[in-house]
Amino acid sequence: MQCPIYVYPGYLLAWGLPRRGGLEPGTAAVGLAVGCPHPTYLILLSPQMAQRLALRQLLSLAPRTLPPQAPVARHSRAFSTSANCKSTFNVQDGSDFQDRVVNNPKPVVVDFHAQWCGPCKILGPRLEKMVAKQEGKVLMAKVDIDDHTDLAIEYEVSAVPTVLAMKNGDVVDKFVGIKDEDQLEAFLKKLIGA
């Protein structure tokens, strides 16, 4: 589940939240953004915080936590933007797969899935979460087998979900079907460590 983080410098823009004497910068609130079915986390930023955030993004660092120097209100918590947005990506085509998976210096797990596959909808987010926990040491590529049938056939995918562990362009490990978080963690650690 990749929930976007909305940051509003200066003042609260969230619709429907009570303005009881205003909210301190750094306060987190939960609301529903239009078009997004998941609860969306809103973080209020002071202009300085917003500047630092922009700078971090500019330097391509995932802003996982707010800079410690920022004036953070007592009752606030920093939310991780979840490195999901950087460590997981959807494969666009064959050459994209070549560039971002086969030729990637980092190990990549490839999640072959399908729209019509129930178990895939369970495994996908679970795998994304465990990949995120590895803090960038491994990346995750998602391949829809109906959109990229040639790729699925090339890698001999019969049933879905099929997950391949790829390192330096070679398939070094694989599993088919659902696994729980511990099993996924072990799978990923083996890939990273090996």
Return the half-sphere exposure (C-beta side, CA atoms, 13 A cut-off) of residue 5: 21
21 forms part of the interface with another protein (CB under 8 A): no
When the beta carbons of 69 and 158 are compared against another protein, the nearer one is 158
93 forms part of the interface with another protein (CB under 8 A): no
What is the closest distance, in whole angstroms, from the C-beta atom of residue 145 to another protein in the complex?
7
115 forms part of the interface with another protein (CB under 8 A): yes
Among 15, 35, 116, 193, binds another protein (CB under 8 A): 116
188 forms part of the interface with another protein (CB under 8 A): no
> What is the strand order of the sheet 5-9 is part of?
5-9, 40-45, 28-31
What is the closest distance, in whole angstroms, from the C-beta atom of residue 76 to another protein in the complex?
40
What is the closest distance, in whole angstroms, from the C-beta atom of residue 123 to another protein in the complex?
15
Q: How far apart are CA 36 and CA 33, in angstroms?
A: 6
Q: How far apart are CA 113 and CA 144, in angstroms?
A: 5
When the beta carbons of 156 and 181 are compared against another protein, the nearer one is 156
Q: How far apart are CA 129 and CA 168, in angstroms?
A: 23
Which residue from 36, 84, 35 is spatially nearest to 64, judged by alpha carbons? 84
When the beta carbons of 95 and 158 are compared against another protein, the nearer one is 158
- The residues in 119-178 that bind another protein, with binding defined as CB under 8 A, are 145-146, 149, 153, 158, 160
Active site annotation includes 120: yes
Please work out the total of residues on this chain that contact another protein, with binding judged by CB under 8 A.
Answer: 11
When the beta carbons of 3 and 117 are compared against another protein, the nearer one is 117
User: Which residues carry out catalysis?
Assistant: 117, 120
Q: Which chain residues interact with another protein by CB under 8 A?
A: 114-118, 145-146, 149, 153, 158, 160
